[in-house]
Amino acid sequence: MSKRVIEGPTPYEMSPEQDEQARAMIEQAEEDLGEIRVNMRWGKFQIDAIRRAAARYGMPYQTYIRQAAFRQAVEDLKATESLTKTRENRARGA
């Protein structure tokens, strides 16, 4: 059996618009590498409430969910850190 020779891609000249679009797509792909997808099931009532709240802030509901979840996580971390410090101080008799 003879071996096949595989050649690389043939050179291709892109227009400035195509080049700009390709660079933008590459940049977006590199940014997306740092993201993780999360899928959740929501009830209709919950999604309706989230959509209404997002509309009041003038943003897409997915963005609203992401920001609200992050804000709440930061607050929860602060609260539990504060609670942990209080417990440690009590344990030391302070």
**pLDDT tens column, 45-86:** 999 999 999 999 999 999 999 999 999 999 999 988 877 777
pTM of the model: 0.53
**Helix or strand or coil: residue 60?**
coil
Tokens of 1: 């059996």
Number of domains in the chain: 1
Is residue 11 domain-resident? Answer: no
Residue 18 has phi, psi (to 5 degrees) of: -65, -40
The residue range of the domain holding 84 is 60-94
Tokens of 10: 């043939």
Q: Which of 51, 71, 52 is nearest to 61 (CA)?
A: 51
Residues 6+ apart with CB under 8 A from 47: 61
